[in-house]
Amino acid sequence: MSSDTAPDVLTRQQNDPTFASVWDELRWRGLVQVSTDETALQEVLDGAPITYYCGFDPTAPSLHCGNLLQLLTMRRLQLAGHKPLALVGGSTGLIGDPRPTAERTLNTRETVATWVSRLQEQVSRFLSPDGDNGVRLVNNLDWTSPMSAIDFLRDVGKYFRVNSMLKKDAVAARLNSDSGISYTEFSYQILQGMDYCELYRQYGCTLQTGGSDQWGNLTSGTELIRRAEGATVHAMGTPLITNSDGTKFGKSEGNAIWLDADMTSPYAMYQFWLNTTDADVIARLRQFTFLSRAEIERLEQVVADEPFRREAQRTLAYEVTSVVHGVDATQAAIDASAALFGNGDLAALDGPTLRAAVAELPGSVTLTPDADLAKALVDTALVKSLGEARRAIDQGGVYVNNTRADDPTAVLAEIALPGGVVVLRRGKKTLAGVTLTS
């Protein structure tokens, strides 16, 4: 496979020409859960280029896999010729979208500003800056910051009806809880509605996309534009992705799968997608890759006939990790996975990839460089005692970095791989890793 970078991946993306329109492809891929007038929206998307937007709030230093669905949906619309506005919410990020359970902790202005910059850089990697419909980055702090409270109430707030605002799902859930909801979070939907109206006025934006769980916030914008401008605009909500067993998508042992390589390594990203179940993999291929309908249908047949091959999962993991981190990092993750099980040269891998791979192994530990092999085997739970460690080594059942071990007193610093890691294996398949402290 070629050593492309993430921007190069953009040049190879295309919508499937076997569909009559981008709307048909969006529907086939399961990307339309809810929308305003479907017939009118289809006509708009099948016609001359329109301007559309999706917003991302800086409530963390990175976007995650749930946001990736929105970015790829935006990219599909861009490939169809439409003009994307990517909004990173410098003002809405200071407030926080109300969660159904409890009030958010407000972050400092400095933290939010830092996260805005990080998210803008991330968003820019998934949408092309080139051509007449190159992506434009916008920040809602630009139009909310100069506005006084009186202006906000008179010019925006007067168009909103409290009885309608109370019906929004998150608001209703909070009102029925012990914690209630603050006026700050209650006002969030007004701010998001104002965003859409401002983008309509500045850029002629007539479509907002987002998750279906945001539907109340999306329609607050369409209603504001109808009341304030007398115009009809559109909104489209993608489905809230869950696994076939009902668990929340995008979580791995309680941790979000981040798009930042420092928060979720390319290796961990690849393994996350590789572990997709047979019941979910075809839906994920439709939603998260640019593979053609014919190729996805072929893989669907492979899952039905030969699920043990896991070709669909390997394809999904490769495609998505390549989009997020580039082909080089993805290939390094694949090579690391193979090398861990003796099908490659561990020493040929780069230090960061090795450290990421070892960190994902069960029983991985951190030890000082002067620790010996026997201690490492005990601490990683590959054996129960130092005596058992010595016996296992004497019997030839222990491997260090894929080489049979013969010395229980070997110092880890002297046998470590690049990145300060040691890969331990007992028998053929029981792996553990050690990362040495600096």
pLDDT tens, residue by residue, 316-329? 999 999 999 999 99
Q: Where are the alpha helices (DSSP H) in 253-367?
A: 266-274, 278-288, 293-305, 311-325, 327-340, 351-359
pLDDT tens, residue by residue, 159-201? 999 888 888 778 888 888 877 888 888 889 999 999 999 999 9
Closest to 320 in 3D by CA, of 249, 255, 253, 245:
249
What average pLDDT score do residues 376-391 get?
A: 96
CATH architecture of 31-240: 3-Layer(aba) Sandwich (3.40)
Contact 68, 59 (CB under 8 A): no
Between 60-74, 334-348, 398-412, the lowest mean confidence (pLDDT) is in: 334-348
- The full set of domain ranges for the chain reads 31-240, 243-340, 351-438
Q: Kindly report the pTM of this predicted structure.
A: 0.91
Closest to 70 in 3D by CA, of 31, 36, 44:
31
Higher pLDDT, 241 or 204: 204
Question: Identical fold at 31-240 and 351-438?
Answer: no
> In angstroms, rounded to a whole number, what is the distance separating the alpha carbons of residues 131 and 228?
32
Residue with tokens 């620790």: 371
CATH no. for 243-340? 1.10.240.10
> In angstroms, rounded to a whole number, what is the distance separating the alpha carbons of residues 328 and 3?
5
Higher pLDDT, 165 or 281: 281
pLDDT of 379 higher than 80: yes
Under CATH, domain 351-438 is a member of which superfamily?
A: RNA-binding S4 domain (3.10.290.10)
